[in-house]
Amino acid sequence: MMFLPDETRLSLAVEADQVLTLYRSINPVQVSLPGVPGQKAGAFVCVFFEGDAARIAVVLELHEAGRLYFYFDDDGPVPAARVASLLDEALYFVEAMGYLMVDLEWDHLEENERDALWRNLPLKQGMPAPVKNGDISSGDGASDPVQVSGPGGSFADKEMEARRQRVIANLGRLFAAY
């Protein structure tokens, strides 16, 4: 199985209740993609329903370019029974790029938590255009940049940062044991 790029897709038009599993990288990795300047990017692995079958997307979050870069498995939608093996291959694909992935434990979140997290991630809406320093000001003549947050506030960012710190601490303990 291979993961093939879909350069035309800018977002993942699915609802939170269609998502089965979601992983996110805890580290940025320098990537070089066709038509995009080399830059650091985050990654997601998302398993979601497409009709009665499941689909897996590997998504790179290109901050400097202000866009998402999608890879889909070449098998297309598959029966739920094949998801576990395809998920392993998707994780191997992103880990081979150098990403450390963490399971967001989607199935353990309450419905309202899943909805809030999905709203705050860039997967559904796509990424906003990058804002250069000086493009936004407070309007009072001050030179301090204005803080801009995504839709729905920063709850997901705080939760994600707390989870990242736990994973990093656990990895540190694991490596220290050897």
pLDDT tens digits for range 22-60: 999 999 999 999 888 899 999 999 999 988 899 999 999
Q: What is the pLDDT of residue 113?
A: 94
Nearest-angstrom CA–CA distance, 25 and 113: 19
Q: What is the pLDDT of residue 148?
A: 45
Whether this prediction's pTM lies above 0.75 is answered by no
**Any alpha helices (H) in the chain, and if so which ranges?**
83-96, 111-120, 122-125, 155-176
Low-confidence stretches of the chain (pLDDT beneath 70): 129-157, 178
Structural domain for 48, as ranges: 3-138+145-176
Q: What is the pLDDT of residue 38?
A: 92
Q: What is the pLDDT of residue 156?
A: 61
Nearest-angstrom CA–CA distance, 113 and 156: 9
Rg (CA), the chain: 17
Q: What is the pLDDT of residue 144?
A: 46
Mean pLDDT of the chain: 84
Q: What is the pLDDT of residue 173?
A: 74
| The total number of structural domains that make up the chain | 1
3-state secondary structure of 125: helix
Of 85, 81, 61, give the one whose Cα is nearest residue 73.
85
